[in-house]
């Protein structure tokens, strides 16, 4: 876990609290995002009025891009089904044209496979033994 990830978690928590009516932590979220962006050399710095939960999530996706966190973040934010459902995978093919001495990039569909994600996959199945021991526990939807 990196220091930048800790700052992003803190900023995300502050913006989540803002959605529930508590604006007192927004300045802390702005300072966390400002610290991350200044370290990276990014020019734009957000103010308290500009910062939203979606922008904090976008910052997290940019910062953690190659660290295999996106899958778990999309699942945790409950937006995986909107982001991935029926998406085609596309790739860029570099094509070299000998006569022109240039490369062109051709965008093509990688395969005919389309991703699917059911909303029930946000939750895990509760073992039946646990449900039988405690009558107040109900099975998660879809199981």
**pLDDT tens-digit readout, 94-139:** 999 888 889 998 888 877 777 788 888 888 899 999 999 998 999 9
Quote the radius of gyration of the chain (alpha carbons, Å).
Answer: 21
Does some domain include residue 82?
no
The predicted model scores a pTM of: 0.73
CA 131 vs CA 121, 122, 128: distances in Å:
19, 19, 5
Q: Are residues 71 and 91 in the same domain?
A: no
Q: Are residues 97 and 63 in the same domain?
A: no
Q: Are residues 10 and 66 in the same domain?
A: yes
Residue 80 predicted with pLDDT over 80 = yes
Q: Are residues 94 and 60 in the same domain?
A: no
Tokens of 73: 């973040």
Calpha distance 78→90 (Å, rounded): 24
Boundary (domain end) residue, out of 52, 77, 102: 77
Domain count of the fold of the chain? 2
Domain of residue 103 covers 87-143
Q: Are residues 33 and 98 in the same domain?
A: no
* pLDDT at residue 108 in the model: 86
């Amino acid at each position: 876990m990196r220091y930048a990830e800790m700052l992003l978690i803190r900023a995300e928590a502050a913006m989540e609290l803002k959605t529930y009516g508590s604006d007192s932590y927004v300045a802390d979220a702005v300072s966390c995002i400002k610290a991350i962006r200044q370290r990276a050399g990014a020019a734009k710095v957000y103010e308290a009025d500009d910062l939203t939960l979606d922008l904090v999530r976008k910052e997290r996706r940019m910062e953690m891009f190659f660290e295999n966190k996106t899958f778990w973040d999309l699942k945790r934010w409950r937006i995986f089904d909107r982001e991935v459902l029926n998406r085609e995978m596309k790739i860029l093919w570099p094509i070299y044209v000998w006569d022109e001495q240039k490369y062109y990039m051709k965008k093509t569909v990688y395969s005919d496979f389309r991703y699917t994600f059911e909303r029930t996959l946000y939750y895990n199945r509760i073992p039946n033994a646990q449900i039988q021991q405690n009558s107040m526990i109900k099975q998660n939807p879809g199981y």
